[in-house]
Structures are given as C-alpha cells and as structure tokens.
Structure 1
Amino acid sequence: MDISWDEITQEELKYLYYDEELTDRQIADIFGVTIGKVTYKRKKFDINIKNKVYQEFMNQNSDLLKEANSNSKERLLKRENIDSISKAITHFVFRNGPVEDMHANNQLSEVDMKTLNKFMVNRIAGLLTAIADNKWLQLELLLSYYKLFGTEWDKAEPDMKEINLAMKLLLIDRL
C-alpha cells in the first residue's frame, strides 16, 4: 500500500479486514506497526466480525429490507399512531438527555417538565400529522421561516448511533 498507517481511513481498513480478510497481524506487518495499533484503530472505527456479518446480511437481503422499510413507513404514518410516536420521539430527542439531567438535578420542576413535555409532544404530533397528510408545501413554508433562527448555532451532526444500533441489535440477536 502507498499510504502510511497514520493516513489509513476507515474505508481502507474495512477493505483490508472485511474484503481481503487480513488478520490484525497481517495488517500490522504490511504497515510496520504493532498488532495493538491495528486492534486499537479497528475498535476506534468499529470494524469487527459482528459488523461484517451484519453488513453482509444487509447487503444480501436488500429487497427484503426495502419491503420491511416500506411497511414500517406505512405503519408510522397512520394517524392512530401519531400520539404514541410523538411521545416516543419526545423521549428520544428531548427527555433522554440534558433536559432529563436538569430535571434530576432539581433545575426543572415537575410542572416545568409537564409543560415542556406537552409542548414537545404536541409540536411533534403536528409535524407528523402534516407528514401523514402530505402537507409538504405547508411544512416547507413553516421550516423556511424557522431556518432564519439558530443560524449562529453549530452545524447539525446527525446522531444515528441509537437508530442504527436498534437494527443491529435486532439482527444480531437473530443471527
């Protein structure tokens, strides 16, 4: 390889470990580093046999997964599910984080939490109802307005860890 160990990317290491099926020792020999350095970088990049099996399963069952994904979308967009989904999303994005910590540290009262929860659930339910009703123009207009605010905030970094973990755990338990 024409790259140094310090320059190797996650994709390049995946290729060596998954596609070329090289061991840590073989990779270490190629780059002239210790096995420990290879193991450390693999763990840092979350490259392991379990994830390889998961990825192979996902690739081999793409049609089945597309159908399951479509069925999930249908279930999620049913109006009768909006209440429970709104509450679940509120827990996922709002309650299970800094706000819950503030509540636990008595920085927010029970009344404050109830007010915040109700507000969040209702707002999320409104968005989900608009999505279920295909009100895309209204959503775009609403979001165009709200995009004017928070411009000084840090750029969004989509947090997919728990979302991806849910699928991995489901499949790994069945493999």
Structure 2
Amino acid sequence: MTDTHPAPACGHTLDSLSVYLAHDRIPYNPLIEECPECQNALRALTRVSYLSRKLIEDDARRLPDPPASWLDNIFAHISTEARAGRNLPLHHPDPAVTLSITEGAVRALIRDVGDGIPGLIIGSSRLRGDAELPRAGICVELTVSVAAHTPMPPLLAQLRQDVSSALAEHTELTVDAIDITVQNVHVPAPEKEPS
C-alpha cells in the first residue's frame, strides 16, 4: 500500500506510524516518541484502530460493507490534524515573552473531547478564520459520526458545550460558532477501551 497521506513535519508517514503501532512501539523510537505531531497521530490511530475493529466486527454481522473510502477519509483527517499548523497566540503579561499553542494541539484537544462522549466519533475538525490574530472570531467546524439509536440533539449539544468549555480553558480563541455536521451513523461498539 502506498502512503498517499501527507507526512508530519518530522517526516514519518501515517503508514510508518501504523506499522510502529502494530508492533507495539517496539523497538522504541525516540524520534517518534518525542515528536508531538507523531504522538497526536498515534493517539488518533489507536482510537481509530480500536473503534474500526469493533465497528467492523459488529457491522459484519448486521450491515452491508462500508464504503471503501471510509478509512481513507479518516486517515486523511488524522494526517491533517497531526500537523502543527498555525501558531495561535496566548497572552503573557511580559511583552517580551511570546507564547502560542499550535493549531494541531487544538485539533487534538477537540478530538479528545469528542472521544470522551459515548456514542460519538469525531471525523474532522477545522478552525475557520484568523485564529492567529488575538481576539479574532473563529468558527469551529466539526464532522461527526453518531451511534445508531442515539438522540442526536442532546449529544450534539453536549459536544458543542464540551468543546466550547475546553477551548475556553486551554486557549484564548474567540469562538463565534461551533458548526457540527453529522456525516455518518454507526452501530456502537461495546464500552471497553483498549488497555
């Protein structure tokens, strides 16, 4: 399989990170383990691997085959989200000090928030607007998959509230809107996380 997804700045591809993960991160690779972009990608790949395995097992029993592009689409989003992206400013009382948080770290935060909500899988996240300008309003755009037979309005309201709270706590972004698009409905996997 050829790697068609863009590599993180460190040069590791999603395919090479997948192989590293499949071998239980052995032998230990400090270039991967100390790279924030690789760590974001490994966390997302672990979650996708767990969820896709459970979904595929369940879907194989109940549903027709998923589209072939499903995993490619998620890999493309993980690859994009693992990149550092723009530097978003953080205020510091000393004008000689410049602080920032990367856009990739913000997207990883959003994915972690979504992963904490049962019945929901974040597909992609995007910060639209001039996020690198202090106090400039932005829109957070999310795509999600929701578990079948789950009431969507309360689930999406919780996601919107949790993302808003996390961004207010960990960033200085001015969030004007959080737009959520439900792209898929999936059969929920059993509630057991990987060890």
TM-score, normalised relative to structure 2: 0.29
Report which of the two has the higher share of helix: 1
Larger Rg: 1
TM-score, normalised relative to structure 1: 0.31
Report which of the two has the higher share of strand: 2
